[in-house]
Amino acid sequence: MTGSTAWFRAECAGAPPVLAARAASFLAGEPEGTDAEVALERAAARALGATLAVPNDRAAAIDLLAADALITLALKARAASDPARLGEFAASLRQAGGRIR
């Protein structure tokens, strides 16, 4: 699945505007031809990194919510494009998340 920005916008329809905007800010800069699940995975890693950078700051809550939304969307994109490998992709996300500091 390609066209990560357009796919993201379609999937975020109806989401709280503040959350959608914050998640989009982490997705910004990804090349448009990148597979949606890959772009969303990288954006989620950036959001989680931002959360962990200021763990005791309440303002980081929106970054954590954005990370959760981006991971969820990455999984949804993989389920749509390659359902047979969804479990493998989920495991790789979990492992990658454990390495973010």
pTM greater than 0.75 (yes/no):
yes
DSSP 8-class letter at 30: S
pLDDT per residue over 55-100, tens digit each? 788 889 999 999 999 999 999 999 998 999 998 988 888 877 767 7
What is the spatial distance between Cα 32 and Cα 29, in angstroms, rounded to a whole number?
A: 8
pLDDT per residue over 5-53, tens digit each? 888 889 999 999 999 999 999 999 888 788 889 999 999 999 999 999 9
CA within 13 Å, CB half, 97: 16
Sorted by sequence, the CB contacts under 8 Å of residue 61 that are 6+ apart come out as none
Residue 29 Ramachandran class (φ > 0 left, ψ -120 to 50 alpha, else beta): left
Percent of the chain with pLDDT over 70: 94
Asked if 47 and 19 count as a contact pair (C-beta separation under 8 A), the reply is: no
**pLDDT confidence of residue 5:** 81
Asked if 46 and 27 count as a contact pair (C-beta separation under 8 A), the reply is: no
Sorted by sequence, the CB contacts under 8 Å of residue 52 that are 6+ apart come out as 100, 101
Query: What mean pLDDT value characterizes the chain?
Result: 88
